[in-house]
């Protein structure tokens, strides 16, 4: 009988993290929750800890350590605080799989720490591979660590490749819903508000990723992530808009045949598969009915209106630290848009300006990525201020 898998969830209070806890709760005989963490949301972290009883929790915001520690004092749960602790807990012996569900660049350091400790990774933090894909994949390979993708698109590609790892990929197609502004042109986007951008047609996600979906930057980041996950060249990756979000992505092989992974849009499925691989556990999730979707449609993305997708391909062609700079710029510009400091169209403009202005490093080390991230954020803030 297989022993329980020890699980650490980095970012348990976000959309992916909360759904991962539901998956773990459904299979108590299969999973042993070791660690949950939060950035600022101490109240929800406390609530989750009392309900799910992990061995450890980390609150990154050190100012809230006392609040969390006092609340969990009688529950035999160890409490830690700070970004260093977030990385250090990943080395815990009882942890087998680290689910990185953090938002943005913050996921890089703890993910690398977990890899270096020999922990398998369930990756929901695409920015880790966007920023430093070469280092992350190299270290994982050297240590025999598996990276199981959690993004629905990359999980789909991963599932299509099972049993096919000896067959070269000719091309992959990442599907995109098109977001709330599918079909819109630039003049229609001039005055859009964050409330409009936050209304995703198919998925329930956090604010940052929802804005990225609306601007197609999320798809751009996924393109870069796919390059590293599946060892592809930029011309082997294509994006196709599929408004129904039923076909989650496709693989085309050298003989011309294609495989697609399909299902209703529900993030719990790829989360569960990343945690249970190579097994599939029975679920009571709603089942797809073809009669509910008599027409599945596909169209080309509008890269002229949504330039972020072009910028992602440009970053891959530039190589080095370009994608790191693009990601940092995007985190700053999206935050500024959510605070009503810039317009929706300014996001891609600031991203492009920052990527091109950041000092280029062709063969970056980890320290170079840290420096590039800091430089790009400073530049992006300057561009936001000039708006």
176-202: pLDDT as tens digits: 999 899 999 999 999 999 999 998 776
**pLDDT tens digits, residue range 55-100?**
999 999 999 999 999 999 999 999 999 999 999 999 999 999 999 9
Task: Specify the domain boundaries for CATH 1.10.1740.10 within the chain.
Answer: 319-387
Distances (CA, A) of 219 to 6, 30, 36, 246, 293: 31, 33, 28, 16, 24
Model pLDDT, residue 103: 86
Model pLDDT, residue 336: 97
Angle at which helices 308-318 and 344-357 pack, to 10 degrees? 10
- Running DSSP on this structure, what letter comes out for residue 180? T
Model pLDDT, residue 82: 97
Model pLDDT, residue 2: 57
Burial class (CB in 10 A: 0-12, 13-18, 19+), 42: buried
Model pLDDT, residue 234: 96
Mean pLDDT score of the chain: 96
Distances (CA, A) of 9 to 56, 206, 351: 11, 16, 30
Model pLDDT, residue 277: 96
Compute the radius of gyration of the chain from its Cα atoms.
20
Model pLDDT, residue 64: 98
Kindly state the tokens that stand for 71. Answer: 């609340």
Kindly state the tokens that stand for 247. Answer: 């076909």
Domain range 319-387, CATH architecture? Orthogonal Bundle (1.10)
**pLDDT tens digits, residue range 202-238?**
666 778 989 999 999 999 999 999 999 999 999 999 9
Q: How far apart are CA 156 and CA 259, in angstroms?
A: 9
Q: Considering only CA atoms, which of 212, 230, 233 is closest in space to residue 221?
A: 212
* 63-66, long-range: CB < 8 A, 24+ apart: 64/40
Model pLDDT, residue 204: 67
Kindly state the tokens that stand for 117. Answer: 């400790």
**pLDDT tens digits, residue range 240-284?**
999 999 999 999 999 999 999 999 999 999 999 999 999 999 999
**120: pLDDT strictly greater than 60:** yes
Q: How far apart are CA 38 and CA 40, in angstroms?
A: 6
DSSP, collapsed to helix, strand or coil, labels residue 120 as strand
Please report which confidence band the pLDDT of residue 104 belongs to, taking 50, 70 and 90 as the band edges. confident
Pairing of β 31-38 and β 169-176: unpaired
Task: Specify the domain boundaries for CATH 3.40.50.720 within the chain.
Answer: 5-149
What percent helix, strand, coil does the chain show, rounded to 5? 50, 15, 35
Please report which confidence band the pLDDT of residue 1 belongs to, taking 50, 70 and 90 as the band edges. very low
213 in Cβ contact with 179 (< 8 Å): yes
Kindly state the tokens that stand for 312. Answer: 């992602």
Kindly state the tokens that stand for 245. Answer: 């979000």
| Residue with tokens 């129904």, as numbered in its chain | 244
Q: How far apart are CA 85 and CA 143, in angstroms?
A: 22
Distances (CA, A) of 138 to 115, 128, 141, 169: 10, 13, 5, 20
Q: E strand or H helix at 218, and its extent?
A: helix 217-229
Kindly state the tokens that stand for 332. Answer: 């700053």
Instruction: Choose which CATH entry (3.40.50.460, 3.40.50.720, 3.40.50.620, 3.90.180.10) describes domain 5-149.
Output: 3.40.50.720
| Arithmetic mean of pLDDT, 98-107 | 93
The residues near 120 (Cβ < 8 Å, ≥ 6 apart) are 96, 97, 98, 145, 146, 147, 148
Please give the model's pTM, rounded to 2 decimal places.
0.94
Model pLDDT, residue 27: 96
**329: pLDDT strictly greater than 60:** yes
């Amino acid at each position: 009988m297989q022993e329980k898998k020890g699980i650490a969830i980095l970012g348990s209070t976000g959309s992916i993290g909360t759904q991962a806890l539901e998956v773990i709760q459904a299979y108590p005989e299969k999973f042993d929750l070791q660690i949950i963490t939060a950035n600022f949301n101490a109240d929800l972290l406390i609530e989750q800890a009392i309900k799910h009883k992990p061995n450890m929790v980390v609150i990154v915001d050190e100012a809230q350590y006392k609040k969390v520690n006092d609340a969990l004092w009688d529950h035999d749960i160890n409490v830690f605080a700070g970004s260093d602790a977030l990385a250090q807990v990943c080395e815990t012996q009882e942890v087998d799989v680290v689910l990185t569900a953090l938002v943005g660049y913050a996921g890089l350091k703890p993910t690398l720490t977990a890899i270096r400790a020999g922990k398998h990774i369930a990756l929901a933090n695409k920015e880790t591979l966007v920023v430093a894909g070469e280092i992350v994949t190299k270290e994982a390979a050297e240590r025999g660590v598996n990276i199981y993708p959690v993004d629905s698109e990359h999980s789909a590609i991963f599932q299509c490749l099972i049993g096919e790892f000896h067959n070269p990929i000719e091309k992959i197609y990442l599907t995109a819903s098109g977001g709330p502004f599918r079909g819109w042109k630039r003049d229609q986007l001039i005055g859009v508000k964050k409330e409009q951008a936050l209304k995703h047609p198919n998925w329930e996600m956090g604010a940052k990723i929802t804005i990225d979906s609306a601007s197609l930057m999320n798809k751009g980041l996924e393109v870069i992530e796919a390059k590293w996950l599946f060892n592809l060249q930029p011309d082997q990756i294509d994006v196709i808009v599929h408004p129904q979000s039923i076909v989650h992505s496709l693989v085309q092989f050298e003989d011309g045949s294609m495989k697609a992974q399909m299902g209703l849009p529900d993030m719990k499925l790829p989360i569960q598969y990343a945690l249970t691989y190579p097994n599939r556990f029975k679920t009571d999730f709603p089942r797809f009915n073809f009669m509910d979707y008599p027409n599945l449609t596909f169209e080309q993305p509008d890269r002229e209106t949504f330039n972020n997708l072009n910028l992602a391909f440009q970053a891959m062609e530039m190589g080095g630290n370009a994608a790191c700079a693009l990601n940092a710029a995007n985190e700053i510009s999206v935050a500024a848009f959510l605070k009503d400091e810039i317009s929706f169209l300014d996001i891609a403009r600031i991203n492009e300006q920052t990527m091109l202005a950041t000092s280029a490093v062709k063969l970056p080390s980890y320290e170079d990525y840290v420096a590039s991230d800091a430089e790009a954020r400073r530049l992006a803030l300057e561009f936001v201020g000039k708006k």
